[in-house]
Structure formats: structure tokens, C-alpha cells
Amino acid sequence: MISFGARRIHPVVAPMVERNAFIGGCDGVSVVKNAEFIGEEPAGTMPHALILIMGDTVEATRAFDEVIDPRVKRVSLIDTFNDEKMEAIRVAEALGKKVFGIRLDTRSSRRGDLQKIIEEIRWELNVRGFGRVQIYVSGGLDEKPILALNPVVDAYGVGTSITNARVIDFALDIIEIDGKPLAKRGKMSGSKSVLRCSKCFQDKMVPFKKNRGRSILGADRCSCGGRLKELLIPFIRDRKILWDLPKPQAIREYVLEQLPHYDL
Amino acid sequence: MISFGARRIHPVVAPMVERNAFIGGCDGVSVVKNAEFIGEEPAGTMPHALILIMGDTVEATRAFDEVIDPRVKRVSLIDTFNDEKMEAIRVAEALGKKVFGIRLDTRSSRRGDLQKIIEEIRWELNVRGFGRVQIYVSGGLDEKPILALNPVVDAYGVGTSITNARVIDFALDIIEIDGKPLAKRGKMSGSKSVLRCSKCFQDKMVPFKKNRGRSILGADRCSCGGRLKELLIPFIRDRKILWDLPKPQAIREYVLEQLPHYDL
Amino acid sequence: MISFGARRIHPVVAPMVERNAFIGGCDGVSVVKNAEFIGEEPAGTMPHALILIMGDTVEATRAFDEVIDPRVKRVSLIDTFNDEKMEAIRVAEALGKKVFGIRLDTRSSRRGDLQKIIEEIRWELNVRGFGRVQIYVSGGLDEKPILALNPVVDAYGVGTSITNARVIDFALDIIEIDGKPLAKRGKMSGSKSVLRCSKCFQDKMVPFKKNRGRSILGADRCSCGGRLKELLIPFIRDRKILWDLPKPQAIREYVLEQLPHYDL
Amino acid sequence: MISFGARRIHPVVAPMVERNAFIGGCDGVSVVKNAEFIGEEPAGTMPHALILIMGDTVEATRAFDEVIDPRVKRVSLIDTFNDEKMEAIRVAEALGKKVFGIRLDTRSSRRGDLQKIIEEIRWELNVRGFGRVQIYVSGGLDEKPILALNPVVDAYGVGTSITNARVIDFALDIIEIDGKPLAKRGKMSGSKSVLRCSKCFQDKMVPFKKNRGRSILGADRCSCGGRLKELLIPFIRDRKILWDLPKPQAIREYVLEQLPHYDL
Amino acid sequence: MISFGARRIHPVVAPMVERNAFIGGCDGVSVVKNAEFIGEEPAGTMPHALILIMGDTVEATRAFDEVIDPRVKRVSLIDTFNDEKMEAIRVAEALGKKVFGIRLDTRSSRRGDLQKIIEEIRWELNVRGFGRVQIYVSGGLDEKPILALNPVVDAYGVGTSITNARVIDFALDIIEIDGKPLAKRGKMSGSKSVLRCSKCFQDKMVPFKKNRGRSILGADRCSCGGRLKELLIPFIRDRKILWDLPKPQAIREYVLEQLPHYDL
Amino acid sequence: MISFGARRIHPVVAPMVERNAFIGGCDGVSVVKNAEFIGEEPAGTMPHALILIMGDTVEATRAFDEVIDPRVKRVSLIDTFNDEKMEAIRVAEALGKKVFGIRLDTRSSRRGDLQKIIEEIRWELNVRGFGRVQIYVSGGLDEKPILALNPVVDAYGVGTSITNARVIDFALDIIEIDGKPLAKRGKMSGSKSVLRCSKCFQDKMVPFKKNRGRSILGADRCSCGGRLKELLIPFIRDRKILWDLPKPQAIREYVLEQLPHYDL
């Protein structure tokens, strides 16, 4: 899955948003600057504009193939002018082994049953000996169609549903004044520790105790028998940052390790 | 609206079914034999098979135009190989004034928003000076999509929803024995007359009275002030058919006159 | 289950429709001619008309019993004039052991809770020593009420939901021209074989290969380990029919064998 | 509409409940004691028990007719043993002009479409010259079926939906202490007057003012131009009841006058 | 769970209704007279009126504590004037160990998420060392919110949903006359025994047999292998009551034993 | 309505977002910098933090009143510690005429029926002579609750539903190349003019004509008789900006003038 959503957000925040898309699990991002920012190679395919200017999908794919760095995979965008099935066959027959994949960005007015269209393309490519050509899909995707399309699709480009994801409501609140717990209605008062069980992955919120060191905590046990680990650690103390920030790649790995423990 | 449903029914009953489609309001039927049976010219367009055999929509339309009786309208079927918009432009640009109309029989997998596809075609044809090319639609239509498509579509071919229309439940029941009313539970006993008001078009079921002639009935009045007319008249008496059957065209006219009085 | 639907279809196609009802699993058909056509004894019960003419359910049942071939089971239709419970008791008490079963064809206006009515009848018959009288039901049934009624009903007569069953959409399409795969949008091109696994009953569609004989196919294996069997076999070659058609009884058996493998 | 619900409540509160049913709009109540309590004649029909004991609906109706005070209307209960249509015809033909009405208390298991059953009965009675026999319905009725049945039914017996009507939540609360407004959360504090507009029937709650006499209030005007009338008046002062309670008949009249002003 | 519903019913039937609430599983009833009637100590908390009169929740709780019999548990009603969280903290800090519990009767207009409010209170009490103060909830509760609140609530006061519980429809019917089974439509005729399996707790209705003694019944077996026990036993014979009525406490125990066998 | 949403967005885009909120109809924005950016006075009320630090709503309001520029309206935030009704009364009684308004930011857990809470506060303030104290509401509002609350609320603070409003999907597409209309599937080809009727406010998309000047357009008429006005005008030509951008205030006025013409 490649993050395609940079064009949906203001350019000044795009690098931060695509960094988060990457951290959250995307395999790559499509804007060159944003990819640099996180230390990855940019990923993407040819645009509709190229095909419109060239006037033909096969011509545009051929031109792309002639000019672009050979390390870049040739993924032909096949929905510009004609039916995806016919264009997929034409591109595959014209460029043969050079074609790494095809991409469908099919407009909603032509998307009666996207899965059937793709099954048809898969069949027609296979029947003609192009079984190894990959199928990419983009355009208005979120987790629901992706789960349905997984059996027939190899890769996705996802934009709006990532950059404009549902807001997660949170707030900074005063919950303690001079060491005395005090909070507005609707908030629990007093400093807190959040403990996560390393086995059952349940979180537990408990009142913060000053002298409870991390080593001591290790001795605490979850009711399931797992070890409880403190999630909150001091990051700034006496105006000094105490820890180096991990790289996006390391954070992403940490996220992906944790994902299987949650019921999404 | 042309009846396209003959292929969905057993051939031995097809003429009867298409006669009913015509009586019920269709403007024509597509099977030659059935059209003869009701005394109309058959109506239709070119099939997918012709385009598949010729290998190209424009070629097939040109061939059709060369061969077919010039009185037949040239309606090109444009959804076989490629996107309807592109094919509609190609056909119109290649054949110009010879094209009377185009037909979309678009498969459901490509029918994300059929109305938008047709609006697009209408725009592209108009922009290129083909404003007078008519747009036909067929394929899985019933009264709901037709009402939605009416602003952009000129004609329809309708099959399954006519030949396999909802069953209207009715039964022949004994309701009188030797002049004495008697009926099973759930049925009203005794011979009846059905009276229809010529003004408000409400029907009224009343016990049948032998000596109530049609002229006398004319004197009866509906509560709305309209004249009540007896709907049931003897058709066979003493083994003789008493009336000539009207022609399908006359029955159809009678149906169309009545339709505006009903809330469908 | 007996096919009762002949009166819902045009007489010229009724034998074909009832043959299909029989092949599809019905135990019998009710029209004499149609039964002959498939080589079965017709099955059915007395009609409402008989009871209306005789004026009383018990009298009509007695008359039926006096006149009809003793091999025919006496099934009394009990919903004509009076409540099913009272008539069931009257018929059973009057004819005793002669009554093989009773049939309810209860009109929808009296069918508040058909299952409760039948449970009541079953109770009243049992309490009076008629536990062996069977209960038949007919009238507007489909698979949903039948599954609910199975615990209290012994046999069904089913009409409209069989003769006017949901249309199964299919089409004949050109998918190959001179050995080259070619199909319209929405169809997969090229000749195909359909293989069914004899173990898991999954079907698999694969490109047709000329020299793949049936014996060779036997060597193919499904991913579940089962043997794959070709479903399509040539039926006409060089204007000759290659196989004798099996009898309806044999086809029906084949259908019933396969049914348990499907999730209906 | 007659209140039939006494049997659904404890006998010690039944007179109060039926008084309220009468005040709220019922035309009568069915229990002798409760009718006395409100100063009305009791109203009702024969019970199922009588018919069961006599063994036949016609016999029971005849016996009822022989014995009961001639001022009581003869309403025959026709659903005990057999179908309502058949029994209605039998009773009407046997007793002729003596029958004032028939009652259906049809069990839910036989109530597929009660309105159709009654339409059928109405037709059969009319066809045989019993157009003046009234039709009563009872059994599980509330305002919804009654509104649907009104075109074909003359009178109703209503029980459970009146005696077990939805609870109207209300509470007695302290809202003022020593003349100072004070109320718990969720309540508005201070003594109040409730004013009703005699024209638009809107109610208005305003703080109570001691010296605002009723005559002064008459001068107050609703925004619609109508006169505002104080709804709350002192009933007990210095341990004396200040007003005679109106009779149930007078309260009922007052309720019925107000009903058309509300959108129920 | 304490029955709080006496104020929702007419005083003359309140003792019977609260006896039933107790038999059905309530741990106590709140009206003194009703508690006497069933031989239990009354249970309850302080009312809103006391707090309104005293003008402050803490003052009212202190007054209650000074005056009331020390055996009565001190449960402070904390929703009268201010937010439940703040009042709970104030009461607990002012009265310390004397407070046995707090009660929330929160009005629906303040009940956005009652569970969250209670979780907050629990947290704030615990954080301040009042972990043993119990939380009571009352006001418009039925089985649904109670199941949700169980993890955070210790006790409930339930009123309307018990005293105005859904009516259970039942009827007394003639089903046998002089030993001959006879019933109206919709009822099964003849005397019956109801047998309950002591193992699977299924009930079975069978025709009554005179000479089938209870000991003989013991020999009968359910299809699951359990013993069948007759549920109906004679209570009055020859104008004599044959059995002493068990005490409410004994009936309640019998009910609670059976409850786990039912899927509510 | 004041824009409260700055804290929900990244600070670098906040000024742009709040400018849009203002243009779209908000009466003010709450962040000082953003207000400067659009040339307006910032608007807002006191925060929860102030009340938490002061420890009491009345004290905090008094402090705010002592310190803040007298031109700023005194709006007291009343939901921090205690029930809104009680705090509203306390603040009004303590500060009297100095209080311009109160604000409820009530947490969802206490928002059972926000409208009822506000009606209660309105009543209590009026009863005590504070009828002119305005009521502000904030917290999770969108157009639905606002329409419901309008009868009882004077002003709103709206955040998330503005800054995180639904994405309006749009795209930049090539639709013409070297003067020849060409577009991808799903887009209408060729340059276009958008015309708006000044009377019925319908928009009309037509092919762009070079020589159609604005004055000529004025001659065009809508089918309703109104004048058609071109919506698209050149903004940049030969690298020069042709028009001064109007001030936010002017754009806002233009938006508000148009709003009544749309059915939102």
C-alpha cells in the first residue's frame, strides 16, 4: 500500500502527514520530498496527464519506459480512455515483459463491480501468458473494499481515507494542582501511569506513584499473568530532551508488531 | 420502449407474451415473427455478435449501414469492446449523419452510474455537433431506472422485467350454485357486477342483478357524480362468441387511455 | 412435496415446467398429462369445488371415498367452509380409519399463525385417537414457511413459487473467433472447461485444452485432494446427438445426490 | 367503544380504572359494579363460555334472547367454534331481526387479515338482507387497528391497551421552600401557573404571582390573540375541600371537548 | 436490588406487587408496610426532599447520620444540587468511614453516559482512599442498563420497570365439559398435565390421565433422560385448601433456583 | 457563531482554516493571531484552566472581571466543577449586571438532554431577574444540534465540525489539448463556462466560446427569465494577477448573500 494522499492536504503539512501514513503501515509514499523526509525511495506510477498528452495508453507507457530510470517499475495506468480489460491486453501485448504492472484508477461512474472487472482482467492476462503482470488499484479506497479486493489485487494506492482520516478526539487537561488531584467534570483527577500487559495487551490506568521505578514495575503482574510495562516515560526534563527520537522505520516496525494484538 | 424479452421465454408462448407487452404499452417488439403476429413492423438494433465478428464497432456499424434496408434506422451498439463515451465519439465521427442513434447495453460490472455515463456521452456528442444522435439504453431495466434516465435517454429496450413480470394472483372460484350464493371462506359469494366510474375511475363491486340492462346502468351515478359503466359483459353465450375481438392496436390504445387515471 | 403449479402457466409449457419441478426434487405432479409425460403416477387431493357442490366437507369426503379408486389415498380438504380444527375433527370422527390425511389450503386472511392452527389440529386429532392422520398444507408456500412448518406438517403442495421461480440470468455469448479468444466487456474470452471437485464440490473454470481427454483429466487434482471432473461434454457433433438423454427419474436422483453439497 | 379491561386488573382498583376509561372517552364499561360506580348502564355481549356450554353459537344466541331483559341489545359472539363468516350467516338467518349485532373476538392465530374477514362478513350479511346487523370487534385492539377498521366496524371492546396503558411519568417535587425557589437538578424552581390559550390550546408555564386573580388573568393574551386561562386552581384550603367534584359524565364531556385540539 | 416501585401503583395493591417483586428476586422492598407484609426489614436511602429542606447534601447526610437507627446503612443521595462526582467527594471527605454508600438517581437530562459518570466517581473515591464506599443507582432502570452497569455499581433501586412490567397474557378457558374435550378455536381441548424435566427443564403438555399418580409419574422419563415432574397439583378439593402456602422467602428461593435454567 | 477549532489543526495552517471559517459565515475566530490575519477582533470566553487554578467558578469569573479589558464581554464558563444550573445561578447572583453571558461546554457524559439543561438554566435565570444574561454553548456541535438549540441559545463556539469538515472531492484535469477537446473517461471534454442565473440561482455548464464577452453574456437568459452571469473569470494572465483579492469581510458578505438561495 502506497500513500497517495499528499494532494489532498496543504503542502506545508504534507510531509508530516505522509510520515504518519508511513509509520502507520504504508509501504511507501508518492511525493518525492515527503519520501526524502522519511528516508525512503518514492513510489508511484504514471499519471493520467501523460496519457492524455500522448493520446494513447500504449504510446504513453512506451514513452515512460524509454525515459525513466530502469530501476523504477513500469506500472501502466490503463483506465484513461478505454475499458480497463481492453487496455490491459493492449499494453501487455505491446510491451510484453517490460510491464511490471497495470493500475486501475477507475472512475466511480464505471465502477459497477470493480472486483469483477479485475477478475476479468486477471483472466484475460493469464489466458495470454501475462500471469506475472501485477494489478494495482487506486481511487477512493478504504479498508472495506481493500479487504474484498485482496484476492485479486496486488497493490493499492490510498489517498483521502488516510489524509482525511477520522479525527481522534483528545485534549490536554489540568488534572492535578500542586500535587493535589483536581479535574473538571468528566475527567479523572491526579497524575496517572498507563500500564500495558506484554501478554494480553490490555492497558490499565493507575494513579501515578513517584517512587515506582521502571524496574519495580517489572515486578507487577497483569491478572492474565503477563508483565505490566509503563507506557509513559519522561521525554523532557529541566528543558532537556532525554531521548533520541527513533527513525520512522523503527516506529513503523513497532506499530506493525503491535497491530496483530488489536481487533480492528 | 421496445420489447426485448422474447429470448427469456419459451418460443411457443413468445408471440402471446410480446402481444401482451405491446398491448400493455410497448411501442414495438423485436422478434420478426411476433411482430407479424400483432401486425407491426419489428424494431431493434445491431447485436453484439456482429461487432465481435467484425472486430470493431465502427466497422460493424459501417457494414450494417451498407447492407440493411435504408428504411431501418441505424442504431449503433457501442458497449462491446470499449468505453461507451469513446466508442460513441468514434462512431459519430466516422459515420456522421448516417447514425440515427447509439445503444448502450452496458454490463452491470461497468455500470457504476449509468446516468453519468450517458450525460457524458450526450455532452461529448453535442460538443462535436452530433446533438441529434439519439441515445438508446437496454439491459436489466425496469420502471425505476427508466424514470431516472428519462431526462437523458431517448428510447429503451426492455426484456426480463416484462416477460418475467410479477405474477398477478387470481383464481376461478365457484361463488353461486343454482342461483344461491355460496363461496368458500375468503371469497365473497354470489354473482357480481363490477362498475367503473367514468369520471373518478373508482371500481365498485355490487351483487349482480339480472334485469339491470346496460342502458339502465347508465342512469346509475357514482358518489363523485360520474356515470357508472358495467365492466363485465357476456362474451360467449350458447356456444357462440358474441363479439369480434378488437385488434392489438385498439386494445393498446384503450390501455393507454386508462393509464393516466391510475397511480402506479 | 407435490408440484401444484400447473394452473399458473400456459398449458403448452406446463409439461416442461412440471418435468423440471420433478427433476428439481418434487415427489410428484398433480396434472394427469404432465405425470404421464414424466412417467409417474399423478398425485393430489380433492378440490374446493367438490365440497362447494356437495355443500359439506364430510359429505364430500364420503362421496370421494365411495367413488375413487381405492389405491388413491383419501386426503380431505378441510378449509372450505369452517375452521380447520373443527372440520378436521368432524372428518376424522365421521370417516375414521378411511382418512389418510387432511389438507389445509387456508386463505391468507385466516392465516394469522398457520403453525399454531396446525399444532392445534395435531393435538385435537391425537387426543381423539387419530394420531396417524397426516397433515398436508398448500397455498403460497416457499422454502421459508416450509422449513418452519416441517415439525408439524407431513406433506406440501407447492405451486406459484416453483412455476414462477426467480429467473436465473444467463446468456449465450461469442467468446472465441477462429480459435482466438475474443469477448465483449464483462465476459471472459476463450473456450473453457468447467471442472468440479468430486470431494469439496467447488467448481473451477479453466481455459479449454483440446487434447485434454476425460481420462487425463481424471489425473487432475483439486487443492483439497479431490478428483476434478469435467462438467461439459459434447452433446451434438456433426449433426448427430452423441448421448441418450437420461430419464427424468435418473436426472432427479443426480440432482438430489448433489443437493447436500450446496449451502442453499 | 366499550371498556373490556376489568379482568386485566386487580378487582380493588378496577372501579377506578374503568372510571378513568369512561372519563377518557369510552362509551361504556362492561362490569356491572364498575358501571354502577360511575352511574351508567353496563354494556357488553355474550361470552365464549355460554356458547361452549350450549355447544352451538345459534343455540346460545337463541337462549340468550329468550332469557335476557329485552332492553339489552342482542350481540352474538360468532368466533367460538367456526369461521366467522359462516357463523354470522347462520346466526342472522336463524334469528333474523332479533340480532342487533355480531361480535368477533377472533384469536390471533386466525387473524391473517381481520379487515378482509370483516369485509367478507359485511358483504355476506348485506347480500342476504341483513345490512342493519352491526359488527363489533374485540381482542388485543389499540388505536392503530381501530383506525384501520373504522370503515367496516361499528363498535369495539377494548381491554389490555387501556388498563395497561403506557405509564405517564410524573413526580411530586419540592420546588420552593419558605417562598424561595429551590429545586433539584432537572426541575424548574418556584411556584408556577399553567396558562392555556382558549384559541390555539398552547400551554404556557409562568412563575406564580400571588395577587394575579383569575379575572386579571382573563386580560392576559396569548401571542395568537386568544385568551389565557389558568389551569391550576386551589382545591383544598385550610383543610376544606373548596369545590364539588364534577360527575364522571361531566369530566368526560370536558375531555372530549378538548381532544380535537390535540394532535394525537 | 431493592424494589422502589411502590409509589407507581395504587396503595391498595402495593403490598401484593412488592411481595411479587420480592418473590421474583428483589433483595428488599422500600415501603415499611410492604416489608412487614412479607416479613423483611425495609431497605432504602435518604430522599431528595431531605436534602432540599436541609439545603446541602453534606448537611443532610450528617443530619441523617445523627438521627437514624445506627443499624441502618448510611447511603447518601448525591445528585440533588450538584455534579455527582463533586458531591460524592464532598460527602466522603466530610463523613469519612460513616458513609456506607452513595446513591445516584441522576435525571435523564444529565445522563449522557451514566457508566462514565460512575467510573469517574469510583476513580475519585479510590484515589482519595474511599475504595470501600458502595455505589447505588436508581431511576428508570431495567435489565439492559443494569447488565451494562454491573462492573461499576454495587446495588440498584428499581421501580417502574417492575411495577409496570409487560403484561403476561393469559386466560381462563373452558376446555372440557362433563369429561368431554371441547374448546374454542385457538385453544387445545381437554384437561392437561404439564410435566417439567428436572434435568433439561423443558416443559411438556400432555392430556391429563386420572389414575396417573405422582409416584407413577416419577417413572416417566424425558427424552434427555431426566425425570419428568408434574407441575400442576390440586390446591382446593371439596372446598378445602389442601396445602399451606409457603412463605415469600421460600417461594423466592424456589424462583432463584430455577432462574439459571432459563435463557432470559 | 465563533470558530473554536484552531486547536484541532496544525498551527501552520490554522490561519488559513480560520479565515475560511470566517468567510464561510462564522462571526469571529478565537485565536489572536488568526483574528489579526483576517483583520477582526478575536472573540472567546474564559477557559476551564482558569477555573481549575482559581478553584471556583465564581472566584474565577470575578478575577477575570477585575483584570480583563472592560470592552471584552464577561462570559462565564459554568460547567467545570458543578451542575450548570447551580453554577449559572451562583455566577449571576454573585456578579449581577457584570455578567454578559454564561457558556456551557458540558462533557458528553453529562449531556443527556442539553436542550432541557439550557431551558432549565434560562428559567432559573429569568425567575431571579437575570433574563438578559446570554447563553453560549460549545463542544462537539454541528448544524443538527444548533438548529435544535436555536430557540434557547444565543451564541455558539464551533470547532471540530468546521476544521475537520467533510472533504469536498475535486480534481484538476486536462480537458483540452491544443484547443481540441480531450478528457479521460468520467470527465467532460473541452473548455467550459459556468453560468449562474441571477434569479433562480441554477448553474449551467456550457462549452466555452472565446469571443463571448461578459457584456454579450448579459444578453443570455435563463429559462426562468433571469440573467445568466459567467462565474469563471481570468485571474492570472501572462504571469500577472489581474484582480485585487477582496478582503475576507467582502468575501464573507458575498457568501452570506448567496446562502439563502441554496437548500442546505
**Structural domain contains residue B176:** no
> How far is F138 from F161, CA to CA, in rounded Å?
11
At residue A148's C-alpha, the angle toward residues A142 and A153, to 5°, is 90
> How far is F252 from F249, CA to CA, in rounded Å?
5
Q: Strand order in F155-158's β-sheet?
A: F28-29, F2-3, F155-158, F134-138, F101-104, F75-77
> How far is A112 from A107, CA to CA, in rounded Å?
10
Sequence-ordered strand ranges (E) for B208-249: 228-230, 236-237, 240-241
How many CB atoms within 10 Å of residue A145?
A: 18
User: How many domains does one find in chain E?
Assistant: 2
Is C40 in contact with C32 (CB distance < 8 Å)?
A: no
> How far is A102 from A133, CA to CA, in rounded Å?
7
- List Cβ neighbours of C2 (8 Å cut-off, separation of 6 or more): C26, C27, C28, C29, C30, C43, C44, C155, C156, C157, C158
- Residue E159 and residue E30 share a domain: yes
Q: What CATH code is carried by the domain that includes residue B69?
A: 3.20.20.70
Side-chain-side CA neighbours of C36 within 13 Å: the count stands at: 3
**Structural domain contains residue D256:** no
- Residue F95 and residue F137 share a domain: yes
> How far is B192 from B231, CA to CA, in rounded Å?
11
Flag whether pLDDT at E69 surpasses 70: yes
At residue A172's C-alpha, the angle toward residues A170 and A178, to 5°, is 150
- Residue C230 and residue C153 share a domain: no
Shortest CA distance to C93 belongs to which of C115, C124, C69, C137?
Answer: C124
Q: E207 - beta bridge partners? A: E192
Residue C118's identity, in one-letter code, is I
> Which of the listed residues C127, C148, C163 is the one where a domain comes to its end?
C163
C-alpha cell at F98: 457584570
Q: Return per-residue pLDDT of chain C as tens, 264 residues.
A: 999 988 889 999 999 999 999 999 999 999 999 999 999 999 989 999 999 999 999 999 999 999 999 999 999 999 999 999 999 999 999 999 999 999 999 999 999 999 999 999 999 999 999 999 999 999 999 999 999 999 999 999 999 999 988 888 888 999 999 999 999 999 999 999 999 998 888 999 999 986 555 544 445 788 888 888 889 988 999 999 999 989 999 999 999 999 998 876
> How far is A104 from B42, CA to CA, in rounded Å?
41
E81 at A interface, C-beta within 8 A: no
C-alpha cell at D208: 406564580
How confident is the model over D85-104, as pLDDT tens digits?
A: 999 999 999 999 999 999 99
- Residue A129 and residue A198 share a domain: no
- Residue A145 and residue A46 share a domain: yes
- Residue F152 and residue F220 share a domain: no
Domain that holds residue B88: 8-163
- Residue C193 and residue C159 share a domain: no
How confident is the model over A70-79, as pLDDT tens digits?
A: 999 999 999 9
Phi-psi region of F83 (alpha: psi -120 to 50; beta: other; left: phi over 0): beta
Contact C83 E185 (CB under 8 A): yes
**Structural domain contains residue D111:** yes
**Residues on chain D touching E172 (C-beta within 8 angstroms):** none
Shortest CA distance to D158 belongs to which of D27, D15, D260?
Answer: D27
Is B95 in contact with B88 (CB distance < 8 Å)?
A: no
> How far is F246 from E180, CA to CA, in rounded Å?
97
**Structural domain contains residue C179:** no
Q: Strand order in C228-230's β-sheet?
A: C203-207, C192-197, C228-230
Q: Do chains E and F touch (3 or more CB pairs under 8 A)?
A: yes
> How far is D61 from E94, CA to CA, in rounded Å?
77
Shortest CA distance to A61 belongs to which of A154, A127, A126, A133?
Answer: A133
**Residues on chain C touching B13 (C-beta within 8 angstroms):** 10, 12-13
Burial per residue of C66-97, b for 16 or more beta-carbon CB atoms within 10 angstroms, e otherwise: eeeeeeeebbbbbbbbbbbbbbbbbbbeebee
Q: What CATH code is carried by the domain that includes residue F204?
A: 2.20.28
Burial class (CB in 10 A: 0-12, 13-18, 19+), D141: buried
ipTM for the predicted complex: 0.88
Q: A192 - beta bridge partners? A: A207
No. of H helices and E strands in chain B? 10, 13
- Residue A136 and residue A56 share a domain: yes
**Structural domain contains residue B105:** yes
pTM: 0.90
> How far is E104 from E7, CA to CA, in rounded Å?
18
> How far is F202 from F196, CA to CA, in rounded Å?
6
Shortest CA distance to B100 belongs to which of B124, B130, B126?
Answer: B130
Q: How distant is the Cα of F59 from the closest Cα of chain E, in angstroms?
A: 17
**Structural domain contains residue C260:** no
- Cα B209 from chain centre: 37
How confident is the model over F27-51, as pLDDT tens digits?
A: 999 999 999 999 999 998 999 999 9
How many contacts, defined by CB atoms under 8 Å, are there between A and C? 18
**Structural domain contains residue F182:** no
How confident is the model over B15-64, as pLDDT tens digits?
A: 999 999 999 999 999 999 999 999 999 998 999 999 999 999 999 999 99
- List Cβ neighbours of E28 (8 Å cut-off, separation of 6 or more): E2, E3, E22, E35, E40, E41, E42, E43
Q: How distant is the Cα of A156 from the closest Cα of chain F, in angstroms?
A: 19
- Residue A47 and residue A127 share a domain: yes
> How far is E222 from E204, CA to CA, in rounded Å?
9
- Residue B94 and residue B157 share a domain: yes
> How far is A76 from A102, CA to CA, in rounded Å?
5
Contact A116 C188 (CB under 8 A): no
How confident is the model over A2-33, as pLDDT tens digits?
A: 999 998 899 999 999 999 999 999 999 999 99
D123 at C interface, C-beta within 8 A: no
What one-character-per-residue DSSP string does C67-128 give? HS-TTS--EEE--SSS-HHHHHHHHHHHHGGG--EEEE---GGG-S-HHHHHHHHHHHHHHT
Residue F83's identity, in one-letter code, is D
Contact C107 B49 (CB under 8 A): no
**Residues on chain D touching B186 (C-beta within 8 angstroms):** 116, 120
Residue of F83, F107, F112 lying closest to E82 (CB–CB): F83
Q: B181 - beta bridge partners? A: B176
What one-character-per-residue DSSP string does F65-88 give? HHHS-TTS--EEE--SSS-HHHHH
> How far is B116 from B110, CA to CA, in rounded Å?
12
Contact D112 C117 (CB under 8 A): no
- Residue B133 and residue B220 share a domain: no
How many contacts, defined by CB atoms under 8 Å, are there between E and F? 39
Query: Which parts of chain F register pLDDT below 50?
Result: 215-218
Average pLDDT per 10 consecutive residues for chain A, totaling 264 residues? 92 95 96 95 94 97 96 96 96 97 96 97 96 97 96 96 87 94 96 91 88 53 88 92 94 94 76
**Structural domain contains residue D226:** yes
Contact D48 E107 (CB under 8 A): no
Contact F81 A167 (CB under 8 A): no
**Which chains pack against B, by 3+ Cβ pairs within 8 A?**
A, C, D, F
**Which chains pack against A, by 3+ Cβ pairs within 8 A?**
B, C, E, F
**Residues on chain E touching A189 (C-beta within 8 angstroms):** 123-124, 127
Q: From the CA atom positions of chain E, what is the Rg in Å? A: 25
- Residue B36 and residue B125 share a domain: yes
